[in-house]
Structure 1
Amino acid sequence: MRLFGALYARALVWARHPQSVYYLCGLSFVEAFIFPVMPEVMLAPMMLGKRHRAFFYANLSLVFSLLGSLVGYALGHWAYEGIRPLLSDGMQQTIGTWVEHLRADMAQHWLAMLGALMLAALQPVIPMKFVTWAAGIVGVPLLPFLACMAIGRGKRVWLLALLVRLVGERAEQILRKNIEWIGWAAIALLGALLAWWLWPR
């Protein structure tokens, strides 16, 4: 089933719309906490259409991704606190132990934690929504969290802008060719991580 190919095709329609800038802002915002398609699928054709505005589009997407990251962070925190009383005692203990372990690691190795967050925001395999929710659950300090998201996601969109300026349509062709694999790989990885997290120990 070509789910992500269809979503990609829809994003291309949005990219060519007269109100494409608003669609880009919306997609960048919701992708950070719920939507499965990364904003690069709109960024690439928009940048190709107006190469001189490539970095403007990149910065616009970055700003709205950061706003969405705040929503994901809040959802992670409040969803965890709201759902915890509904879980069985064993599940509460398992998840509570995992969260406390991460919090202890964060306190002891905060530089490594910041580096991991930046890498998570930079690479496209682990969905950004998983990173923002997890940060909210664990309680990563808000300002360092936003700084890591800005650096990691900023490198992604700026690199795309640079690629478009340098190699043009080849950048979009590479994304189009691999979008299905990237999308399903991200879903599979997210499922595996959730299964590992919730598996009783």
Structure 2
Amino acid sequence: MLRRLYDWTMSLAARKSAEVWLAVIAFVESSVFLVPADVLFLPMALAKPERSYRYALVATIASVLGGIAGWALGYYAYDAIARPVLEFYSKFDEFEQWRSAIHGEWEILLLLLVTSGLAHLPPIKVVTILAGVIGMNLGFFVISAIIARGARFLLLAWLLRRYGEPIRHFVEKRLGQIVGIGAGVLITLGIAYKLLAH
């Protein structure tokens, strides 16, 4: 099923309505969809590099709006909607692990900025729903999401404009791993700091 979703999303890049689909995919990725918007963003930005920053802006705005929807699902409709979505994608156990480990807004901010903002560890929808479940201040959440998602898409746009097709393969295969390692280091340092502070 995941492969079919991926292939379908890739096919949208060739359509005239690709920019609209980019907004749709970026929105639903942040709340209920499994395939990341990068799958559509990358071929679009490569095909029309002069529009890469425009695509980055579209993806950022839609992703933040989708994040607000994810936050609302976690805050207002966790049992009715959010939990079934997480179970459908087999993300419920992962969500519960993060839920037991994360208690404050700053921890969500770190998770959003470092992991879901730049990589997909955990998927962005897990973080947005979790932010709603713990009652993270919506204004703080929106600012965090703008910074995190904007940084991701603008960085990708810059890399694609500067390096073109070769960087696409690097981004698709290695960026998540590199950022994931960096995220792990930062989270470990944050936990160590909290333990030493207490």
In the superposition, the TM-score normalised over structure 2's length comes to 0.71
In 2, Cα distance between the equivalents of 1:7 and 1:170? Answer: 25
Structure 1 position 158 matched with structure 2 position 151? no
Aligned-pair identity in percent equals 31
In 2, Cα distance between the equivalents of 1:113 and 1:177? Answer: 26
Q: 5+ unaligned residues in a row in structure 2: which ranges?
A: 82-95, 178-198
3-state SS of 1:35 partner: coil
Give the CA deviation at 1:81.
6.5
Match of 2:138 in 1: 142
Is contact 1:28-1:65 (8 Å) kept?
Answer: yes
Q: 5+ unaligned residues in a row in structure 1: which ranges?
A: 84-94, 183-201
Match of 1:118 in 2: 113
Is contact 1:28-1:64 (8 Å) kept?
Answer: yes
Instruction: Give the alignment partner of residue 19 of structure 1, picking from 10, 17, 20.
Output: 17
The superposition leaves residues 98-157 of structure 1 with CA deviations (integer Å, 9 ceiling, x where unpaired) of 67x95xx52xxx555533332233222210000000000000000111111111111111
3-state SS of 1:155 partner: helix
Equivalent positions of 1:1-201 (< 5 A) are 3-80=1-78, 105-106=103-104, 111=106, 113-122=108-117, 123-175=119-171
In 1, Cα distance between the equivalents of 2:78 and 2:35? Answer: 24
- Aligned in 2, Cα 1:71/1:113: closer, same or farther, shift over 3 Å? closer
In 2, Cα distance between the equivalents of 1:117 and 1:12? Answer: 25
Q: How much is the aligned-residue C-alpha RMSD, in angstroms? A: 2.9
The one-letter amino acid paired with 2:21 is: Y
Give the CA deviation at 1:46.
0.4
In 1, Cα distance between the equivalents of 2:127 and 2:162? Answer: 30
Task: Return the index of the structure with the highest Cα Rg.
Answer: 1
Aligned residues: 161
In the superposition, the TM-score normalised over structure 1's length comes to 0.70
Is contact 1:121-1:148 (8 Å) kept?
Answer: no
In 2, Cα distance between the equivalents of 1:141 and 1:40? Answer: 28
Is contact 1:44-1:171 (8 Å) kept?
Answer: no
In 1, Cα distance between the equivalents of 2:19 and 2:156? Answer: 17
Is contact 1:25-1:61 (8 Å) kept?
Answer: yes
In 2, Cα distance between the equivalents of 1:127 and 1:112? Answer: 16
In 1, Cα distance between the equivalents of 2:46 and 2:74? Answer: 35
The superposition leaves residues 18-62 of structure 1 with CA deviations (integer Å, 9 ceiling, x where unpaired) of 111111111011000111011011000000111011010001000
- Bigger mean CA deviation after superposition, 122-131 or 33-42: 122-131
Give the CA deviation at 1:78.
1.7
